[in-house]
Amino acid sequence: MKRKTQRLLTIRRIIDKEKIRNQEEMLARLLQEGYELTQATLSRDLRFLQVIKLPDKKLGYYYSLPVNQMNNGTEANSGELQSFPLRGFKTLEFANNLGVIKTIPGYASSIASLIDSMDKYEILGTIAGDDTILLIPNEGVSHQDIMNALVVIMPELEEKIYNRT
């Protein structure tokens, strides 16, 4: 069985690319992606991701993520505030089991605060300086799990984290 963070990333990707109308359609799509889960689990995942339903003239209603609302102006302020510190993110590297995030000077504490506020299982906590964050993972959590958790918290980091050169 695939991990919850991978499943959440998959749900996010599906909702971002397709107009899914209900949980039955989402369960079918997730099954195509290799995830077999119950309606109750899907419901909890959708609530965790704060998925909403938006009206559509042809489909009725479809799932959407809160970040998609920024285009409509309904959540621009909170979205801008949350994405502000992400502009300062530079790199993520690992030393043994610890993560080290490099930022533009002055951004580390804002990014660390955002990470800590999401209370992800994979991340025990952070310690921030001016341009560096020490990321302390929970016991038994892999580097991939940490990267997945960060992308769930901050989807804007996906390309910066996964497409390192």
Q: Return the percentage of the chain with pLDDT > 70, whole number.
A: 84
What contacts 123, CB < 8 A, 6 or more positions away? 115, 116, 135, 136, 137, 138, 141, 146, 149, 150
In the structure, what pLDDT confidence band is assigned to residue 124 with cuts at 50, 70 and 90? very high
pLDDT of residue 52: 81
Query: Mean pLDDT across the chain, nearest whole number?
Result: 81
Domains assigned to the chain: 4-75 (1.10.10.10), 84-162 (3.30.1360.40)
CA-to-CA separations, 56 to 22, 36, 60, 62, 123, in angstroms, rounded: 13, 28, 5, 7, 38
Q: Return the percentage of the chain with pLDDT > 90, whole number.
A: 35
Residue owning tokens 């892999």: 142
For residue range 26-79, list pLDDT tens digits in order.
Answer: 999 999 999 999 999 998 888 888 888 887 788 888 888 865 333 333 333 344
**Count of residues for the chain?**
165
What contacts 146, CB < 8 A, 6 or more positions away? 94, 99, 122, 123, 135, 137
Tokens linked to 124: 């025990």
CA gap 115, 27 in Å, rounded: 29
Q: Which of 127, 123, 126, 128 is nearest to 145 (CA)?
A: 123
pLDDT of residue 70: 36
Largest CA distance in the chain: 52
Q: Is the pTM of this model over 0.85?
A: no
